[in-house]
Structure 1
Amino acid sequence: MDNSPLLDLADPGIVQLVYTKTNIGGWFFDAYLKMDHTSRLTITDHPVQAGAAVSDHAFLQPRELSMDVAMSNVNESRVPGQFTGGYSRSVQAFNVLKKLQELRVPIQIHTRLGLYPNMLVEVLSAPDDFTTLDGLQCTVTFREILVAQVTTIKISSRPQVTDSSKRGSPEPVTPNQSILKQVSGMLLGH
Protein backbone atom coordinates (compact mmCIF):
# COMPACT_ATOMS: atom_id res chain seq x y z
CA MET A 1 0.00 0.00 0.00
CA ASP A 2 0.99 3.64 -0.10
CA ASN A 3 3.89 4.54 2.21
CA SER A 4 2.56 8.06 2.70
CA PRO A 5 1.32 9.13 6.14
CA LEU A 6 -2.34 8.76 7.06
CA LEU A 7 -4.62 11.73 6.60
CA ASP A 8 -4.46 14.26 9.43
CA LEU A 9 -8.17 14.80 10.05
CA ALA A 10 -7.34 17.63 12.47
CA ASP A 11 -6.05 19.68 9.53
CA PRO A 12 -8.96 22.00 8.51
CA GLY A 13 -8.01 21.76 4.83
CA ILE A 14 -8.17 17.96 4.91
CA VAL A 15 -11.45 17.91 6.86
CA GLN A 16 -13.01 20.20 4.27
CA LEU A 17 -11.84 17.93 1.45
CA VAL A 18 -12.96 14.65 3.04
CA TYR A 19 -16.48 15.86 3.76
CA THR A 20 -17.10 17.91 0.62
CA LYS A 21 -15.19 16.26 -2.22
CA THR A 22 -15.70 12.87 -3.78
CA ASN A 23 -13.30 10.39 -2.23
CA ILE A 24 -12.91 6.70 -1.41
CA GLY A 25 -12.03 6.29 2.25
CA GLY A 26 -10.06 9.55 2.20
CA TRP A 27 -8.22 8.72 -1.05
CA PHE A 28 -8.68 11.37 -3.75
CA PHE A 29 -8.38 10.19 -7.34
CA ASP A 30 -7.71 12.56 -10.26
CA ALA A 31 -11.07 11.95 -11.92
CA TYR A 32 -14.38 10.22 -11.33
CA LEU A 33 -15.66 9.50 -14.82
CA LYS A 34 -18.94 7.80 -13.95
CA MET A 35 -20.86 6.67 -10.87
CA ASP A 36 -23.80 4.29 -10.68
CA HIS A 37 -25.76 4.52 -7.43
CA THR A 38 -28.04 1.53 -6.79
CA SER A 39 -30.61 1.32 -4.02
CA ARG A 40 -32.99 -1.64 -4.22
CA LEU A 41 -36.16 -2.47 -2.26
CA THR A 42 -37.19 -6.14 -2.18
CA ILE A 43 -40.94 -6.62 -1.98
CA THR A 44 -42.26 -9.99 -0.87
CA ASP A 45 -44.60 -11.94 -3.17
CA HIS A 46 -46.95 -12.99 -0.39
CA PRO A 47 -50.41 -11.41 -0.25
CA VAL A 48 -50.80 -8.58 2.21
CA GLN A 49 -53.91 -8.50 4.37
CA ALA A 50 -55.92 -5.29 4.18
CA GLY A 51 -54.90 -3.01 7.02
CA ALA A 52 -51.54 -4.77 7.61
CA ALA A 53 -48.30 -2.79 7.86
CA VAL A 54 -46.90 -2.91 4.33
CA SER A 55 -43.39 -2.12 5.65
CA ASP A 56 -43.30 -5.68 7.05
CA HIS A 57 -43.49 -6.97 3.46
CA ALA A 58 -40.61 -4.98 1.97
CA PHE A 59 -36.97 -4.56 2.95
CA LEU A 60 -33.96 -2.62 1.66
CA GLN A 61 -31.06 -4.51 0.14
CA PRO A 62 -27.49 -3.33 0.78
CA ARG A 63 -26.71 -0.29 -1.38
CA GLU A 64 -24.26 -0.63 -4.26
CA LEU A 65 -22.01 1.96 -5.82
CA SER A 66 -19.95 1.57 -8.97
CA MET A 67 -17.31 4.20 -9.75
CA ASP A 68 -15.13 4.64 -12.80
CA VAL A 69 -12.00 6.36 -11.46
CA ALA A 70 -9.00 7.66 -13.33
CA MET A 71 -5.46 8.47 -12.27
CA SER A 72 -2.76 10.20 -14.26
CA ASN A 73 0.98 9.83 -13.80
CA VAL A 74 1.42 13.51 -14.70
CA ASN A 75 -0.73 15.33 -12.10
CA GLU A 76 0.11 15.89 -8.48
CA SER A 77 -2.17 14.55 -5.76
CA ARG A 78 -4.82 16.78 -4.24
CA VAL A 79 -3.56 15.64 -0.84
CA PRO A 80 0.23 15.88 -0.62
CA GLY A 81 1.88 12.48 -0.33
CA GLN A 82 -1.00 10.34 -1.58
CA PHE A 83 -0.14 7.67 -4.18
CA THR A 84 3.63 8.06 -3.79
CA GLY A 85 6.34 5.49 -3.17
CA GLY A 86 5.56 3.18 -6.09
CA TYR A 87 6.50 2.75 -9.71
CA SER A 88 3.99 5.44 -10.74
CA ARG A 89 0.94 7.22 -9.33
CA SER A 90 -1.42 5.10 -11.44
CA VAL A 91 0.12 1.79 -10.33
CA GLN A 92 0.18 2.99 -6.73
CA ALA A 93 -3.49 4.04 -6.98
CA PHE A 94 -4.41 0.53 -8.18
CA ASN A 95 -2.37 -0.97 -5.33
CA VAL A 96 -4.31 1.19 -2.84
CA LEU A 97 -7.60 -0.08 -4.25
CA LYS A 98 -6.38 -3.70 -4.08
CA LYS A 99 -5.26 -3.19 -0.48
CA LEU A 100 -8.64 -1.70 0.48
CA GLN A 101 -10.26 -4.80 -1.02
CA GLU A 102 -7.87 -7.23 0.71
CA LEU A 103 -8.26 -5.59 4.13
CA ARG A 104 -12.05 -6.10 4.06
CA VAL A 105 -12.50 -3.14 6.41
CA PRO A 106 -15.62 -1.02 5.81
CA ILE A 107 -14.78 2.40 4.40
CA GLN A 108 -16.72 5.61 3.92
CA ILE A 109 -17.28 6.98 0.43
CA HIS A 110 -18.38 10.53 -0.22
CA THR A 111 -20.02 11.42 -3.54
CA ARG A 112 -22.02 14.33 -4.86
CA LEU A 113 -25.23 12.34 -4.35
CA GLY A 114 -24.53 11.16 -0.81
CA LEU A 115 -22.41 9.65 1.89
CA TYR A 116 -21.93 5.88 1.93
CA PRO A 117 -20.65 4.49 5.25
CA ASN A 118 -19.75 0.81 5.74
CA MET A 119 -18.80 -0.01 2.15
CA LEU A 120 -16.52 -2.83 0.99
CA VAL A 121 -14.72 -3.11 -2.33
CA GLU A 122 -16.49 -5.99 -4.07
CA VAL A 123 -15.05 -5.83 -7.61
CA LEU A 124 -12.03 -4.14 -9.21
CA SER A 125 -11.79 -4.05 -12.98
CA ALA A 126 -8.92 -2.24 -14.69
CA PRO A 127 -8.08 -2.68 -18.38
CA ASP A 128 -4.36 -2.43 -19.08
CA ASP A 129 -3.38 -1.67 -22.67
CA PHE A 130 -1.54 0.96 -24.73
CA THR A 131 -4.22 3.59 -23.93
CA THR A 132 -3.66 3.29 -20.18
CA LEU A 133 0.14 3.20 -20.24
CA ASP A 134 0.47 6.58 -18.50
CA GLY A 135 -2.56 6.32 -16.27
CA LEU A 136 -5.24 4.19 -14.72
CA GLN A 137 -8.88 3.79 -15.55
CA CYS A 138 -10.56 1.44 -13.11
CA THR A 139 -14.13 0.43 -12.31
CA VAL A 140 -14.60 -0.09 -8.57
CA THR A 141 -17.81 -1.71 -7.31
CA PHE A 142 -18.71 -1.25 -3.65
CA ARG A 143 -21.37 -2.96 -1.57
CA GLU A 144 -22.75 -1.80 1.75
CA ILE A 145 -22.40 -3.90 4.89
CA LEU A 146 -25.63 -3.76 6.87
CA VAL A 147 -24.92 -3.09 10.54
CA ALA A 148 -27.45 -3.87 13.27
CA GLN A 149 -27.41 -2.64 16.85
CA VAL A 150 -27.91 -5.49 19.30
CA THR A 151 -29.00 -4.79 22.86
CA THR A 152 -29.01 -7.26 25.72
CA ILE A 153 -31.72 -6.77 28.30
CA LYS A 154 -31.60 -8.48 31.68
CA ILE A 155 -35.09 -9.63 32.51
CA SER A 156 -34.63 -11.16 35.96
CA SER A 157 -31.84 -12.01 38.33
CA ARG A 158 -33.74 -15.09 39.53
CA PRO A 159 -32.84 -18.44 37.99
CA GLN A 160 -35.21 -19.63 35.31
CA VAL A 161 -35.23 -23.26 36.49
CA THR A 162 -35.78 -24.54 40.02
CA ASP A 163 -34.20 -27.65 41.48
CA SER A 164 -37.39 -28.94 43.11
CA SER A 165 -41.03 -28.84 42.17
CA LYS A 166 -44.11 -29.84 44.14
CA ARG A 167 -45.63 -32.57 42.05
CA GLY A 168 -48.06 -34.22 44.48
CA SER A 169 -48.71 -37.96 44.50
CA PRO A 170 -50.25 -39.67 41.49
CA GLU A 171 -53.42 -41.67 42.18
CA PRO A 172 -55.20 -44.05 39.78
CA VAL A 173 -58.51 -42.78 38.45
CA THR A 174 -61.22 -44.83 36.83
CA PRO A 175 -62.00 -43.37 33.46
CA ASN A 176 -65.52 -42.16 32.81
CA GLN A 177 -67.58 -44.38 30.60
CA SER A 178 -69.10 -42.91 27.51
CA ILE A 179 -72.84 -42.19 27.51
CA LEU A 180 -73.32 -44.75 24.77
CA LYS A 181 -71.66 -47.48 26.90
CA GLN A 182 -73.72 -46.47 29.96
CA VAL A 183 -77.00 -46.60 27.97
CA SER A 184 -76.12 -49.93 26.37
CA GLY A 185 -75.25 -51.30 29.85
CA MET A 186 -78.63 -50.22 31.22
CA LEU A 187 -80.50 -51.76 28.28
CA LEU A 188 -78.66 -55.04 28.60
CA GLY A 189 -79.01 -55.04 32.37
CA HIS A 190 -75.35 -54.89 33.31
Structure 2
Amino acid sequence: MTCILVSRSIGGVFVDVVISEEHESEMEIAEHPVEKGAKISDHAWRLPYRVTLESAIAGERAVASFQQLLDVQSTAEPFSLVTGLKVYQNMLIKRLTATRDRENARVLKFEAELQEVVIVNTESSGGGSSSDDKAQGTTKRGQVAARTTESIPTRTDKVLSDAIAVD
Protein backbone atom coordinates (compact mmCIF):
# COMPACT_ATOMS: atom_id res chain seq x y z
CA MET A 1 0.00 0.00 0.00
CA THR A 2 1.27 3.48 -0.88
CA CYS A 3 0.92 6.33 1.58
CA ILE A 4 1.54 9.97 0.69
CA LEU A 5 2.43 12.38 3.47
CA VAL A 6 1.07 15.86 2.79
CA SER A 7 3.48 18.72 2.31
CA ARG A 8 3.70 21.32 5.02
CA SER A 9 5.10 23.96 2.74
CA ILE A 10 3.72 26.99 0.92
CA GLY A 11 5.98 27.92 -1.97
CA GLY A 12 8.94 26.33 -0.20
CA VAL A 13 8.25 27.97 3.19
CA PHE A 14 7.74 25.27 5.83
CA VAL A 15 4.86 25.63 8.28
CA ASP A 16 4.48 23.80 11.59
CA VAL A 17 0.78 23.07 11.29
CA VAL A 18 -2.06 23.48 8.80
CA ILE A 19 -5.12 24.28 10.90
CA SER A 20 -7.59 24.21 8.01
CA GLU A 21 -7.77 23.91 4.23
CA GLU A 22 -10.57 25.35 2.13
CA HIS A 23 -10.73 24.31 -1.53
CA GLU A 24 -12.78 26.19 -4.12
CA SER A 25 -13.59 25.09 -7.66
CA GLU A 26 -16.10 27.22 -9.54
CA MET A 27 -17.60 27.34 -13.04
CA GLU A 28 -18.53 30.55 -14.79
CA ILE A 29 -21.72 29.92 -16.75
CA ALA A 30 -22.89 32.38 -19.38
CA GLU A 31 -26.17 34.01 -18.43
CA HIS A 32 -27.39 34.62 -21.97
CA PRO A 33 -29.63 32.02 -23.62
CA VAL A 34 -27.87 29.06 -25.27
CA GLU A 35 -29.20 27.88 -28.61
CA LYS A 36 -30.36 24.26 -28.65
CA GLY A 37 -27.65 22.06 -30.16
CA ALA A 38 -24.81 24.48 -29.28
CA LYS A 39 -21.81 23.15 -27.37
CA ILE A 40 -22.39 23.91 -23.71
CA SER A 41 -18.61 24.01 -23.17
CA ASP A 42 -18.54 27.20 -25.25
CA HIS A 43 -20.82 28.82 -22.66
CA ALA A 44 -19.23 27.60 -19.42
CA TRP A 45 -15.63 27.59 -18.21
CA ARG A 46 -13.77 26.70 -15.04
CA LEU A 47 -12.46 29.61 -13.03
CA PRO A 48 -9.01 29.35 -11.44
CA TYR A 49 -8.79 27.09 -8.40
CA ARG A 50 -8.58 28.81 -5.01
CA VAL A 51 -7.22 27.34 -1.80
CA THR A 52 -7.29 29.04 1.60
CA LEU A 53 -4.95 27.68 4.25
CA GLU A 54 -4.98 28.63 7.90
CA SER A 55 -1.55 27.76 9.28
CA ALA A 56 0.87 28.46 12.11
CA ILE A 57 4.61 28.69 12.61
CA ALA A 58 5.92 28.74 16.15
CA GLY A 59 9.06 29.99 17.85
CA GLU A 60 12.09 31.76 16.46
CA ARG A 61 11.21 30.98 12.83
CA ALA A 62 7.94 32.96 12.92
CA VAL A 63 9.28 36.38 11.86
CA ALA A 64 11.69 35.01 9.24
CA SER A 65 9.01 32.71 7.83
CA PHE A 66 6.56 35.60 7.47
CA GLN A 67 9.17 37.51 5.48
CA GLN A 68 9.79 34.42 3.32
CA LEU A 69 6.05 34.14 2.59
CA LEU A 70 5.99 37.82 1.60
CA ASP A 71 8.99 37.18 -0.67
CA VAL A 72 7.25 34.20 -2.33
CA GLN A 73 4.20 36.41 -2.88
CA SER A 74 6.19 39.32 -4.33
CA THR A 75 8.23 37.20 -6.76
CA ALA A 76 4.96 36.10 -8.40
CA GLU A 77 6.59 32.82 -9.48
CA PRO A 78 4.00 30.01 -9.77
CA PHE A 79 4.57 26.96 -7.58
CA SER A 80 2.88 23.63 -6.86
CA LEU A 81 0.84 23.26 -3.70
CA VAL A 82 0.40 19.81 -2.17
CA THR A 83 -2.69 19.55 0.03
CA GLY A 84 -4.58 16.69 1.61
CA LEU A 85 -7.06 16.61 -1.29
CA LYS A 86 -5.18 17.62 -4.44
CA VAL A 87 -1.86 18.74 -5.89
CA TYR A 88 -2.43 22.17 -7.43
CA GLN A 89 -0.12 23.49 -10.17
CA ASN A 90 0.72 27.12 -10.99
CA MET A 91 -0.41 28.66 -7.71
CA LEU A 92 0.35 32.13 -6.36
CA ILE A 93 -0.29 33.67 -2.96
CA LYS A 94 -3.09 36.15 -3.57
CA ARG A 95 -3.63 37.27 0.02
CA LEU A 96 -1.67 36.77 3.22
CA THR A 97 -3.16 37.77 6.58
CA ALA A 98 -1.07 37.41 9.74
CA THR A 99 -2.55 37.58 13.24
CA ARG A 100 -0.56 38.22 16.40
CA ASP A 101 -2.16 38.81 19.78
CA ARG A 102 -1.41 38.08 23.42
CA GLU A 103 -2.38 34.42 22.96
CA ASN A 104 -0.16 34.06 19.90
CA ALA A 105 2.70 36.40 20.82
CA ARG A 106 5.37 33.85 19.89
CA VAL A 107 3.44 32.24 17.04
CA LEU A 108 2.82 33.35 13.49
CA LYS A 109 -0.78 32.40 12.85
CA PHE A 110 -1.78 33.29 9.32
CA GLU A 111 -4.24 32.71 6.53
CA ALA A 112 -2.99 32.39 2.96
CA GLU A 113 -5.35 32.60 0.01
CA LEU A 114 -3.79 30.98 -3.03
CA GLN A 115 -5.09 31.14 -6.59
CA GLU A 116 -4.20 29.20 -9.71
CA VAL A 117 -2.72 31.10 -12.61
CA VAL A 118 -4.15 29.77 -15.87
CA ILE A 119 -1.16 29.70 -18.20
CA VAL A 120 -1.60 29.34 -21.96
CA ASN A 121 0.72 29.11 -24.92
CA THR A 122 -0.14 31.32 -27.86
CA GLU A 123 1.02 30.26 -31.28
CA SER A 124 0.70 32.06 -34.59
CA SER A 125 0.57 30.22 -37.88
CA GLY A 126 2.79 31.78 -40.51
CA GLY A 127 1.49 30.10 -43.63
CA GLY A 128 -1.56 28.38 -44.97
CA SER A 129 -3.57 25.73 -43.26
CA SER A 130 -1.80 22.45 -42.49
CA SER A 131 -2.59 19.35 -40.49
CA ASP A 132 -0.37 20.70 -37.68
CA ASP A 133 -2.29 23.98 -37.71
CA LYS A 134 -5.62 22.14 -37.52
CA ALA A 135 -4.39 20.04 -34.61
CA GLN A 136 -3.37 23.23 -32.80
CA GLY A 137 -6.57 25.07 -33.59
CA THR A 138 -5.17 27.47 -36.21
CA THR A 139 -6.49 27.21 -39.74
CA LYS A 140 -5.98 30.62 -41.36
CA ARG A 141 -2.94 32.82 -41.80
CA GLY A 142 -2.31 35.01 -38.81
CA GLN A 143 -4.78 33.33 -36.48
CA VAL A 144 -3.64 32.77 -32.93
CA ALA A 145 -4.59 29.67 -30.94
CA ALA A 146 -4.50 29.61 -27.16
CA ARG A 147 -3.91 26.31 -25.42
CA THR A 148 -3.55 25.60 -21.75
CA THR A 149 -0.29 23.98 -20.89
CA GLU A 150 0.68 21.43 -18.27
CA SER A 151 4.45 21.82 -18.58
CA ILE A 152 5.27 25.37 -17.49
CA PRO A 153 8.31 25.29 -15.16
CA THR A 154 7.33 26.03 -11.58
CA ARG A 155 8.74 25.71 -8.10
CA THR A 156 7.47 22.11 -8.18
CA ASP A 157 10.81 20.57 -7.24
CA LYS A 158 10.89 22.50 -3.95
CA VAL A 159 7.32 21.74 -2.93
CA LEU A 160 7.01 18.19 -4.20
CA SER A 161 10.17 17.26 -2.35
CA ASP A 162 8.18 18.04 0.79
CA ALA A 163 5.68 15.30 -0.04
CA ILE A 164 7.11 11.88 0.69
CA ALA A 165 5.75 8.70 -0.91
CA VAL A 166 6.17 5.56 1.18
CA ASP A 167 5.62 2.02 -0.14
TM, length-normalised to structure 2: 0.70
Q: Report the alpha carbon displacement of residue 47 of structure 1 after superposing the two structures with TM.
A: 1.0
What SS does the corresponding residue of 2:62 show, helix, strand or coil? helix
RMSD: 2.1
Alpha-carbon distance in 2 for matches of 1:26, 1:103: 13
Unmatched 5+ stretches in structure 1: 1-16, 74-87, 161-190
Aligned to 2:110: 138
Matches within 5 A, 1:22-37: 22-37=8-23
Residues 101 and 120, structure 1, Cα contact 8 Å, conserved in 2: yes
Query: What secondary structure, in the 3-state scheme, does the structure 2 residue paired with 1:151 have?
Result: strand
Q: Aligned partners of 2:70 and 2:13: how far apart in 1?
A: 13
Aligned residues: 127
Q: Distance in 1 between matches of 2:71 and 2:15?
A: 15
- The answer for unaligned runs of 5 or more in structure 2 is 129-140, 142-167
Distance of 2:57 and 2:44 partners within structure 1: 40
Distance (whole Å) between structure 1 residues aligned to residue 46 and residue 23 of structure 2: 14
For 1:70 and 1:93, the matched residues in 2 are separated by: 10
> Which letter does structure 1 place at the counterpart of 2:125?
I
Contact between 1:124 and 1:140, CA under 8 Å: does it hold in 2? yes
Give the superposition deviation at 1:114: 0.8
Aligned-residue offset at 1:107? 1.6
Displacement of 1:27:
2.7
Larger relative contact order (Cα-Cα within 8 Å, sequence gap ≥ 6): 2
Aligned-pair CA distance for 1:61: 0.9
Larger Rg, first or second structure (1 or 2): 1
Structure ranking higher in strand proportion: 2
Show structure 1 runs of 4+ deviating over 4 A.
Answer: none
CA distance in 2, matches of 1:61, 1:50: 24
Partner of 1:103: 75
Equivalent of 2:57 in 53, 71, 80:
71
* In structure 2, C-alpha distance between the alignment counterparts of 1:148 and 1:31, rounded to whole Å: 34
**Offset, 1:57:** 0.5
Q: TM-score, normalised by structure 1?
A: 0.62
Identity of aligned residues (%): 29
